[in-house]
Amino acid sequence: MSSHQQLFYNKNYSKIIQDLSSNQDPSIQETHNLSICKYLSNGESPLPTLMNLCDSILQDIQSPNQWPSNPSWPLILYHVSLYSLKFCSYEKTQNILNDLWNNNDKQDKFLMLSLSQYFTTKN
């Protein structure tokens, strides 16, 4: 387990925020993690950052119907859906989760396992 993972599971978000904020050229994953830690630490909305990451990833695809190959894409969408469920729109959440589910062959299996709970209980 990495040091950030251990800090995260121990809810020591301030150390992660300090480490990730000092990076001058953060990766998509680091930017994503920073936004989630800020939300968990002080309630700062991760949505603007997550949507900027989505826009950045979508710029790299060739066709609007193509599923992005970026490995961060599914988890970013999943976090957008969770935030949407809590603060925005059930319909938006459902659309995102359906999109993830319909592209399950391209997803991390642990993410799909958590989504399966949603799909087995929604009816």
Instruction: State pLDDT tens for residues 75-100.
Output: 888 889 888 888 878 888 888 888 88
- For residue 53, being part of any structural domain is answered with no
CB 50 within 8 A of CB 83: yes
- For residue 61, being part of any structural domain is answered with no
Q: Which residue, 114, 91, 88, is CA-closest to 101?
A: 114
Question: Encoding tokens for residue 40?
Answer: 């968990």
- For residue 2, being part of any structural domain is answered with no
Domain residues for 123?
68-123
Identity of residue 96:
I
- For residue 50, being part of any structural domain is answered with no
Q: Which residue bears the tokens 């990451």?
A: 53
- For residue 101, being part of any structural domain is answered with yes
What is the reported pTM?
0.77
- For residue 73, being part of any structural domain is answered with yes
- For residue 106, being part of any structural domain is answered with yes
Per-residue pLDDT tens digits for 39-88: 999 999 999 999 999 999 988 887 777 778 888 888 888 889 888 888 87
pLDDT at 114 over 70: no
Give the pLDDT confidence score for residue 117 in this predicted structure. 61
Residue 69 CB coordination number (10 Å)? 10
Domain count for the chain: 1
Give the pLDDT confidence score for residue 31 in this predicted structure. 94
Give the pLDDT confidence score for residue 1 in this predicted structure. 53
Rounded Cα distance between 77 and 114, Å, is 13
